[in-house]
Chains A and B, each alone.
Chain A
Amino acid sequence: MSLLELKDVTLKFGGLTAVNALNLSVKEGEVFALVGPNGAGKSTVFNLISRFYTPASGSIRFDGQDLLARPSHAVPALGVARTFQNIELFHQATVLQNLLVGRHRHRSTSALENIFFTPRVRAEERAHREAVEEVIDFLDLQPYRDQRIAGLPYGIRKVVELGRALATKPRLLLLDEPASGLSVEETQNMRWWIDDIRRQMGITVVMVEHDMGLVARVCDRVVALDGGKKIAEGTPAQVQSDPAVIAAYLGTSAVSKTASASGERQ
């Protein structure tokens, strides 16, 4: 059964159709990638799932629940976590505090209890901290625990953002370009982490990524988008050799014949 299901989702910004009648189905436990040239609508799909945008038509379901019936802040409660293309951390706070915000959906204390810091709040804080420490151990963030984000290098911030998403204990993890801007070594680490996230934690991963090397190594299935439309779907190898995908990356005119043969394109 599929965990995440997009059916005929269309999103328009004024005259521009950013996502066009898109169907996606992500199975529980797989690592799934969205690829495509810039402006293909990959991040937009994430923003639709996060409910930052509301589609003009279509449905988005997660684990059988209708996401479109929920506001943006109620999506994480179902177990959907995400990272951002241009790192959106709480830059004034420390790494630890950032990760603790990830535990927000697991809190059960009221504001009033918080103000008086009742024993229940304390007990819950300990539990949050333990959960966060697991993430810190997993991602080797120990040296940075009490450092403010503002002073951290880019590569570390990227890892912290992944950690914050993991701290929510999600069932589905949306990674928006997890390897962009990372060094070869950091990308290597990212690959192992993504493998472990799937194997050890059993989290389903959907990622947007340009690094086809990384995609080929960690992903089970790939969907290629162009102009908001799905142009290919399959294993990384299949998609990489798909003529429509090659056309999308190299320009339509070069291979227009093969492209038009493999699907209706504008």
Chain B
Amino acid sequence: MRFHFKTNYDTDIDLFPDWWKRGLYLALLVFAMGLPLLLDEFFIGEMTNVLIWSVSGLGLMLLTGQTGQVSLGHSAFMALGCYACVLMMEAGVPFIVAFLLAGVITGVIGGLIAIPALKLHGVYLAIATLALAILADDLIVLLAPWTGGVNGKYAPEINILGLVIDRWSTPDYYYWMVLVVVLGVTWAYRNILRSPLGRSFAAVRDSEISAQAMGVDIARTKTMAFGLSCAIAGLGGALMGLFAGAFNNETFNFLIAIQLVMMVVVGGLGFIHGAFLGAVVVAFLPQLLSILTSSFGRGMSVPGLETGVFGFLLILFILFEPMGLYGRWLKIRTWAELFPFARKDMFKRQKSYLKTERLR
């Protein structure tokens, strides 16, 4: 175990507590950047997919993990980001501008939608957002003149200052581009966490009543969290649509939103690492399952297998490891650091009783 001898407050304010951690993440970054040199095109494509899922996952994590609001409708905002970005690109807006604007637009619309939704607690918010996701699907069909409806749209070419980025012809560039977005989003996420904004999110999550007593404007904070979360999800959606090459209303089906929720839970609610670990599971589970089913000689795909296995995994996680993959890692690390002094009950779940807030 390393001890920090803190000599000034900046140690706690900085992104990394010491040079060891800084070096570790720098090494990880170098590794991530060099990945295209090590992997073939198929796996770079898969890694890009992981990173894209993590962007959307970070968006939902900010809302669910940090602010404690569950959304089953983030697919709607992913779709919004994607269509906004592509429509602007088709109108001749340069990619970078269109992409960032798509995030802003999604964030603003998400924030506006949040204002009525804010009055809703837990279950009601979940249902309202689920309805939103289903409505988005139908709306895309109804708005066919702009969205292409069921026939969908083809993603335009991404051109950054003359550099053409294409999934098929230049997969490495696509990967690096997504990596840059991931870094930007992660950096912003960390900044939020270490600033008053992030603390007010956590305050709303843990106790609305005392957040209010500390002067936190609950409605504003929730709107902000929802808007930011939607903006990030929108960026993820834009990347996902462009990566897919062609997309329609089905691409951003409400099941995507539910998959996103499952992803952040499996990864570890409330941890940045959790979004990434969850994305790895989401992206690689289908591959793993297809390898398994073909090795069992069935040769054909079993419909619903992916979601079934994913659901089963999720149940196991909530029952046995509610802190997700990252929580498990933390426990292993703590155990190793304290060896042999770790106690079994150190991470024991506290017994809790539910008390209703309703009248009748």
Contact = CB atoms under 8 A, between A and B. Distances in A.
Q: Indicate if A touches B (C-beta under 8 A).
A: yes
Interface of A: 50, 52, 71-77, 81-82, 84, 88-93, 96-97, 100-105, 107, 109, 111, 114-117, 121-122, 125-126, 128-130, 150, 164, 168
A89 B199 CA distance: 13
Nearest to B217: A73
A73 B215 contact: yes
Contacts of A50: 212-213
A128 B207 CA distance: 21
Contacts of B198: 114
Contact of B196 (A75, A104, A130): A104
A157 to B, nearest CB: 12
Nearest to A102: B214
Nearest to B350: A150
8 contacts: A52-B209, A72-B212, A90-B210, A100-B199, A101-B199, A104-B203, A114-B196, A168-B215
Nearest to B208: A88
A170 to B, nearest CB: 11
B218 interface: yes
B197 A111 contact: yes
Interface in B1-48: 9-10, 12-13
B205 interface: yes
B188 interface: yes
A76 B214 contact: yes
B333 interface: no
Nearest to A46: B213
A104 B224 contact: no
Given A88-B207, A104-B200, A116-B191, A73 B350 contact: no
B195 A121 contact: yes
B212 A90 contact: no
Contacts of B212: 50, 52, 72-73
Q: Tell me the interface secondary structure of chain B in the complex.
A: helix
A75 B196 CA distance: 18
Contacts of B197: 111, 114-115
A126 B9 CA distance: 6
Contacts, number: 114
A122 B15 CA distance: 12
A73 B9 CA distance: 29
Contacts of B200: 101, 104
B202 interface: yes
A76 B202 contact: no
A77 to B, nearest CB: 6
A107 B216 contact: no
B282 to A, nearest CB: 25
Nearest to A164: B214
B192 interface: yes
Nearest to B224: A111
A99 to B, nearest CB: 10
Contacts of A100: 196, 199
Contacts of A129: 9, 12-13
Contacts of A74: 215, 217
B226 to A, nearest CB: 13
B255 interface: no
B350 A126 contact: no
B207 A90 contact: yes
Interface string B321-360: 0000000000000000000000000000010000000000
Most chain B CB neighbours (cut-off 10 Å) among A50, A73, A164:
A73
Given A88-B210, A130-B9, A101 B195 contact: no
B81 interface: no
Contacts of A52: 209, 212
Contacts of A97: 199, 202
Contacts of B196: 100, 103-104, 107, 109, 114, 128
Contacts of A93: 199, 202-203, 206
A117 B190 CA distance: 9
Given A114-B195, A150-B350, A89 B214 contact: no
A70 to B, nearest CB: 11
Contacts of A77: 215
A32 to B, nearest CB: 19
Contacts of A88: 207, 209-210, 213
B215 to A, nearest CB: 4
B211 interface: yes
Contact of B199 (A71, A75, A104): A104
A248 B92 CA distance: 79
A161 to B, nearest CB: 8
